[in-house]
Amino acid sequence: MKDDIFSLHLTFNFPRMLNGYESLLVDRFFRYVQIDTQSNPDSDTQPSSSKQLDLSRMLLDELNSLGLTETELDENGYVYASIPSNSEKAVPVICYCAHVDTSPDCKASEVKPLLHKNYNGEDIILPDDPEQVIKTGDHPYLLEKIGQDIITASGKTLLGADDKAGVAVIMELAAYLQRHPEIKHGKIRILFTPDEEIGRGVNKLDMKKLGADFGYTLDGPELGSFEEETFSADGMKFIFYGVSAHPGHAKDKLVNAVKIASAFIEELPSDEFSPETTDGRYGFVHPVRMDGNPERMMVEFIIRDFNTAKLNAYEEYLKDKANDALQYFPGGRFEYEIKEQYRNMKEVLSLNPQVSEYAREAIHRAGIEIKESAARGGTDGSRLSFMGLPCPNIFTGEMAFHGKHEYVCVQDMEKSLETIIHLSQIWEENA
């Protein structure tokens, strides 16, 4: 098994183009993206696909050969490792976390990473499918990268920079700190999770074993981006009940739940509260599934806002709309249930302000302008924050993820590495 994995490394397309980099960051990244680690939402196993373990095993081997301690790949597919403290101070234990899986939304096997050195600012035609063109018009960020080095896939698959850029940056941090004992830091825990893309990234995580005080996910997009806020999220399910009758003899008897559910959806405004009409800090209610028959119809929503208290207002709003719809269907009724999904990690991070402050200082020391944004979604960090590990998200350079146009800028990855080197030092300095 192990031999197979390492032989993948030999199938580089352009190994000669990787010369000239002092760090092995690009080398690592190429090695990791060529391993198919797609997670599978339809699987009940843990991890959801055993191929994720191909990368996890490789990471474990590499962590061991780097001389890290407390290395483990556990039965749930989590990789843990420690970089021991080299400081006399009592420094809080910091964890750096990335996910090994890639999105189920796009082909992820036989990824062929391509390095575009000294990028010239033109649209990038992907050679294995010339229909696939990464256009600067759609991706203006590329124009900021002229003269730098871009990595793309070859046109048939995603790239997997989400989140193998994060994995490579953390691995290179471990290698760097081993080579530079003069850099003082506290104990650092490394964590690689499976199944983040299908929302199960931390389901089986052993927080006690992790034993960290504060954490950072390395899973953010452009240079300098920093997220300490995510949506707060609930799921809400309505069940509408009609009154069934044989349609041939249904006059004045039948109440059709399909029609109730449709009327309910019609009640929702088309110009607000919807993902297709909101951005920035605005939340939404979003119907994601309908299923049933004239007797019983289920309508499922996801509800999102940065302000947790507003979720409740949205839920009341939906109930009102359901009642409005029922007016036209005497004899019909509904039930609902609400499930908490995740919460805005800012609620935890504002109680531990140093976690974000130190990250901002680290980005600043790396000579980068900070771009703070609020993630219109959840991250492993939002779950981790509420599990006791306050955990904002730091950029890695991964862009246009979950599709064939995914790319990453090498220099962004290097700045990400530089940022977490500084960050490790800042925790030690402030202890």
DSSP annotation of 222 reads S
Which tokens sit at 335? Answer: 């039930």
Can you give the length of the chain in residues? 431
36, 54, 62, 101: the active-site residue: 101
The answer to whether 297 touches 291, Cβ cutoff 8 Å, is yes
Q: How far is the CB of 284 from Zn ion (least distance, A)?
A: 22
Please tell me which residue in 196, 229, 361, 398 is annotated as part of the active site: 196
Nearer to Zn ion (CB atom), residue 201 or residue 242: 201
Q: Minimum distance from CB of 4 to Zn ion (Å)?
A: 26
Q: How many residues touch Zn ion (CB under 5 A)?
A: 3
d(CA 411, CA 147): 10
The residue among 163 and 305 lying less far from Zn ion, judged by its C-beta, is 163
Select 169 or 257, whichever has its Cβ closest to Zn ion: 169
Shortest Å, Cβ 163 to Zn ion: 4
* Among the residue ranges 31-39, 112-120, 218-226, 242-250, the one whose residues contact Zn ion (CB under 5 A): 218-226
Q: Which of 172, 213, 219, 412 binds Zn ion (CB under 5 A)?
A: 219
**Piece of the chain touching Zn ion by CB under 5 A; list 32-40, 214-222, 290-298, 345-353:** 214-222
Alpha carbons 378 and 173: distance in angstroms, whole number: 25
* Residue 253 DSSP code: T
Does 406 contact Zn ion by CB under 5 A? Answer: no
CA separation for the pair 53, 75 (Å, rounded): 10
Least distance CB 196 / Zn ion (angstroms): 6
Range list of β-strands (E), 56-100: 69-73, 79-83, 94-99
Which one of the spans 24-32, 216-224, 272-280, 310-318 is the region binding Zn ion (CB under 5 A)? 216-224
Question: In 10 A of CB 220, how many CB atoms?
Answer: 28
Are 29 and 413 within 8 A, CB to CB?
Answer: yes
Helix (H) or strand (E) holding 285: strand 284-293
Minimum CB separation of residue 290 from Zn ion in Å reads 29
- CB-count exposure of residue 92 (10 Å: 0-12, 13-18, 19+): middle
CB of 97 to Zn ion, least distance (A): 11
User: What is the C-alpha separation between 252 and 167, in angstroms, rounded?
Assistant: 64
Residue type for position 423:
L
Print the binding letters for residues 165-204 with Zn ion: x by CB under 5 A, - otherwise: ----------------------------------------
On the question of a cis peptide bond just before residue 15, with omega within 30 degrees of 0, the verdict is no
Question: What is the number of other CB atoms lying within 10 angstroms of the CB of residue 239?
Answer: 17
Contact predicate 162/219, CB 8 Å: yes
- Is 163 or 213 the residue whose CB approaches Zn ion more closely? 163
Q: For this structure, is 75 an active site residue?
A: no
**Of 325 and 409, which CB lies nearer to Zn ion in the complex structure?**
409
Candidates 20-28, 219-227, 238-246, 350-358; binding stretch for Zn ion (CB under 5 A): 219-227
Choose between 163 and 414: whose C-beta lies nearer to Zn ion: 163
> Closest CB to Zn ion among 284 and 401?
401
Least Cβ distance, residue 388 to Zn ion (angstroms): 21
Residue 54 or 162: which CB sits closer to Zn ion?
A: 162
| DSSP codes joined into one string, 7-23 | HHGGG-S-GGGGTT-SS
**How many CA atoms lie less than 13 Å away from 342 in the CB half-sphere?**
25
Q: At 70, phi and psi to the nearest 5?
A: 50, 40
DSSP 8-state code for residue 102? B
For 144, which DSSP code?
G
Residue type, 245: A
Site for Zn ion in 133-172 (CB under 5 A): 162-163
Catalytic status, residue 196 = yes
Give the rounded distance of the alpha carbon of 77 from its chain centre: 17
Nearest approach in angstroms of CB 137 to Zn ion is 25
**Catalytic amino acids?**
101, 196
Contacts with Zn ion, residue ranges (CB under 5 A): 162-163, 219
